[in-house]
Structure 1
Amino acid sequence: MTLTTEPRITRAPFYRSVGDETEVFRAAARRGSPVLLKGPTGCGKTRFVEAMAHELGRELITAAGHEDMTAADLVGRFLLQGGETVWVDGPLTRAVRSGAIFYLDEVVEARQDTTVVIHPLADHRRELPIDRLGTSVPAAPGFQLVISYNPGYQSVLKSLKESTRQRFVAIELDFPPAEIETDVVAYEAGIDAETAGTLVRLGQAIRRIDGSPLREAASTRLLILAGGLVAEGLPLRAAVQSAVVRTLSDDADVVRALGELVDAVLPRS
């Protein structure tokens, strides 16, 4: 089970706006409108939500969708405590009661009953039905539902249904322009701008590969991981091999091709 609850973020997360995403999110938050974030893995969707929660002064509760996740994981269940059966709220119920932002990452990875349970929260009703208690919990002021998925990665069988999609304000995110991505990698990894710029050039080169055999592109997250290894004293090429090349593929031919691309982009020592 991959459920996480995060306390109110006290330090402002580092996020650089690329378009109008912050303005759209603020407007949606003022209306209590649910938000759908679309974009490739590792492009900054989670960091964006963290930054907006901090700006709005709201608690952020998150859950990562996966194939074993059920509605009960989100809503809650009866558990034995001290010889008694007691109801324990799930993370979604806690967010609804407290007026927090609830972020469900990779929503289509979860079972369909999880999607059904969020529908009443994502329309005019703004309430969470708890069938096992025979009641519905109205959303407290400030509650906001945010979900995300990667439309380029998900299979047709796991696409987001129109009945769900049309309840949300959609914000599309992508990998940021080179100058912004360089700032992000430098800040998050704790490295100089020149090294960060080199990593970003490599990431962009990998993303531009025609007919790429890779399931996922080289994400900003991977570039930060490589930069973090450099910050710890690892040579740049070794860091890239471990955090980027070997992470992106297990296929020997693909790894070899990526290695050749690394040789073309990274400076010779």
Structure 2
Amino acid sequence: MSTNHHSVELAVESAATPAPFYRSVGDEADVFRAAARRGLPVLLKGPTGCGKTRFVEAMAHELGRELITVAGHEDMTSADLVGRFLLKGGETIWVDGPLSRAVRQGAICYLDEIVEARQDTTVVIHPLADHRRELPVDRLGTTLSAAPGFQLVISYNPGYQSILKNIKESTRQRFVAIELDFPPADIEVEVVAHEAGIDRRTAGALVRLGNAIRGLQGSPLREASSTRMLILAGGLIAEGLPVRSAVQAAIVRALSDDPDIVRALGELADGVLDVT
């Protein structure tokens, strides 16, 4: 019997929790609301740490929908999503996977970084992502019809796409696409200050550094300095760590293991932040 179900990361949001902090940049919230009213699936595209997950959390809260989040990974199987038979108390019982639970309960199911899962796994979502709104459960010999309120949301980082890790056209064309990116500086300052609990001046300095790193020409970095990284640095500063130490720990050393790149990023940070 497979035990991969232990590797599926789940998070459930309730409308009773405080509203997640999110600031819209364009029409992403309007598009999501319209898609939700129609029960249309949504594909979120954007770099790591730009706010895709927070956006979904905020929309689920606003709509009063339960949110079930699944973190994609290369070992994920269709059983991890749909469910499996497990041995419990001397008997074999069926246990719904997160996707089946969302379908039955009318929740939003968010499959984060879907390209990390095997392509044969993602095929299971096709009947849910078109007019059928159904989930075949082969092991039970039945098909689940999506309850009212169910919505499928998937995300991926186009910067990581490759021949082996990409979303099939047959999957992509079933979704309404929303493209997210790092927010404009004024909004990012507000987000970093709020989330890290620091003043806007310090948040502004971190955002300037983030934009400087993102703007490096011919950068060897696989990822840019994300809003998430800036918030982490701000959190360390809020805890009393010197700015330079916080930036080194949360941004510079987190972006690369190459000593030359780390040294160059450190020098850039010192210049932008005017830290010696």
Band the TM-score falls in, shorter-chain normalisation? over 0.9
Asked whether the equivalents of residues 153 and 216 of structure 1 are also in contact (C-alpha less than 8 Å), the reply is no
Match of 2:87 in 1: 80
Shift of 1:140: 0.1
Q: Which amino acid aligns with 1:8?
A: S
The separation in 1 between residues aligned to 2:150 and 2:90, in whole angstroms, is 34
In the other structure, the counterpart of 1:4 is: 10
Whole-angstrom CA distance in 1 between matches of 2:162 and 2:212: 25
Name the TM-score, length of structure 2 as normaliser.
0.96
Q: Which secondary structure does the structure 2 equivalent of 1:214 belong to?
A: coil
- Residue 32 (structure 1) aligned with residue 32 (structure 2): no
Aligned-residue offset at 1:154: 2.3
Distance (Å, rounded) in 1 between the aligned partners of 2:10 and 2:202: 33
Aligned residue pairs total: 269
**Contact map agreement 1:5 1:91 (CA 8 A) in 2:** no
AA partner of residue 111 (structure 2): L
Partner of 2:183: 176
Q: Output the aligned Cα RMSD.
A: 0.9
State how far apart, in whole Å, the 1-side matches of 2:161 and 2:206 are: 27
- Determine if contact 1:102/1:143 at 8 Å carries over to the other structure: yes
SS of residue in 1 equivalent to 2:160: coil
Amino acid at match of 1:111: R
Q: Corresponding residue for 2:209? A: 202
Q: Is residue 13–residue 57 contact of structure 2 (8 Å, CA) maintained in 1?
A: no
- TM value normalised by structure 1: 0.98
CA distance in 1: counterparts of 2:162 and 2:196, whole angstroms? 33
1:1-269 equivalent positions in 2, closer than 5 A: 1-9=7-15, 10-268=17-275
Q: Distance in 1 between matches of 2:121 and 2:13?
A: 23
Q: Tell me the alpha carbon deviations over residues 199-228 of structure 1, each in whole angstroms, 9 at most, x when there is no partner.
A: 000000000000110010000000000000
Aligned-pair CA distance for 1:6? 1.0
Extract structure 1 runs of 4+ deviating beyond 6 A.
none
Secondary structure of the residue aligned to 1:30 is helix
Alignment identity in percent?
A: 80
The residue identity in structure 2 corresponding to 1:163 is: S
Gaps of 5+ in 2: 1-6
Q: C-alpha separation between the residues in 1 aligned to 2:191 and 2:164?
A: 34
Letter in 2 for 1:5: A
